[in-house]
Amino acid sequence: MKTRLSTLFSRSRHGGLLVLALVLAILPLFLTNAFYYDVAIRIALNAIVVIGLNLLMGYTGQISLGHAGFYGLGAYASAVLTTHYSWPPLAALAAGAVATGLLALLLARPVLKLKGHTLAMATLGLGIIISIVINNETQWTGGPDGIGVSTFSVAGLEIAGEKSWYLVCAVLLLLVTWLALNLIDSPVGRALQAIHGSEVAARVVGVDTTRFKVRVFVLSAVIASIAGSISAHYIGFITPNLAGFFHSIELVTMVVVGGMASIFGSIIGAALLTILPQLLSSFEGWETVVFGVILMATMIFMPKGLVPSLASRSRKRAAVPKAPAASNKPPAQEV
The residue extents of the domains of the chain are: 8-240
Mind listing the pLDDT tens digit for each residue in 310-320? 887 777 777 66
Looking at per-residue pLDDT, the higher value among 262 and 280 belongs to: 262
Q: In this structure, which amino acid lies at residue 38?
A: D
Computed over its alpha carbons, how large is the radius of gyration of the chain?
A: 23
Looking at per-residue pLDDT, the higher value among 146 and 332 belongs to: 146
* Residue 152 confidence (pLDDT): 93
Strands 237-238 and 147-148: antiparallel
pTM for the whole structure: 0.90
Whether residue 289 is predicted with pLDDT greater than 60 in this model: the reply is yes
Mind listing the pLDDT tens digit for each residue in 83-126? 999 999 999 999 999 999 999 999 999 999 998 889 999 999 99
Confidence of residue 8 (pLDDT cuts 50, 70, 90): very low
Confidence of residue 60 (pLDDT cuts 50, 70, 90): very high
Whether residue 32 is predicted with pLDDT greater than 60 in this model: the reply is yes
Whether residue 158 is predicted with pLDDT greater than 60 in this model: the reply is yes
Q: 158 pairs with which residues across the strands?
A: 153
* Residue 2 confidence (pLDDT): 45
Torsion of CA 268, 23, 275, 297, to 10 degrees: -20
* Residue 278 confidence (pLDDT): 84
Question: Contact, 262 vs 307, CB < 8 A?
Answer: yes
Confidence of residue 281 (pLDDT cuts 50, 70, 90): confident
Of 255, 287, 280, whose CA–CA distance to 268 is shortest? 255
* Residue 303 confidence (pLDDT): 85
* Residue 267 confidence (pLDDT): 97
Q: Tell me the three state secondary structure of residue 321.
A: coil
